[in-house]
Homo-oligomer: A and B are copies of this chain.
């Protein structure tokens, strides 16, 4: 019984890592759509989100059947609940990629991000995508050390967010109100993707060590 439980639990984490890789792809494509103004790439992200939602449902069903049929004890129970929370956050990261893609789509064939904000937004996107990529590896390999490193990347993201505000509120901003609003919201979306990545990785730490990462 216990062996079967842990096998199934491993299966759940394999699925979570796979969903995280889908999210990584969604972030990558949404950014591509955003920085090139390509409508059909944006559409792929938007229409592809349903697959992430379905994958979430499958993980939830497995987790519930694990809880029901195996009635895990305290520690294992918390691991299953952690998995349920991770999959909710991964789904949310997919939704945030859709928000990025929708801003891209709204402005095509133009590029939503004006030239003067492009380096910062491109870097935010890169950091976010990299964090999601590493989160997938952290889930797959239960890599506690990497999870701690992810925190540092999140600090870079916070710095980029501040820099983006300095840019769009500075005297040199000539791109107007609409572009400023787009950049502010995009910054918010990438920042939230990064926040969720840190949170998901933190749950892996909890799963492995039983301890909550200090926030």
Contacts and interface: CB of A to CB of B under 8 A. Distances in A.
| Copies of this chain assembled into the complex | 2
B168 A177 contact: yes
A160 B185 CA distance: 17
Interface in A181-208: 181, 184-185, 188
A60 to B, nearest CB: 9
Interface residues of A, number: 24
Contacts of A64: 74, 77-78, 81
A1 B78 CA distance: 22
Interface stretch (A40-48, A65-73, A124-132, A151-159): A65-73
A84 interface: yes
A7 interface: no
Interface string A50-91: 000000000000001001100101100110010011001000
Interface in A169-185: 169, 173, 176-178, 180-181, 184-185
Contact of A185 (B73, B74, B85, B188): B188
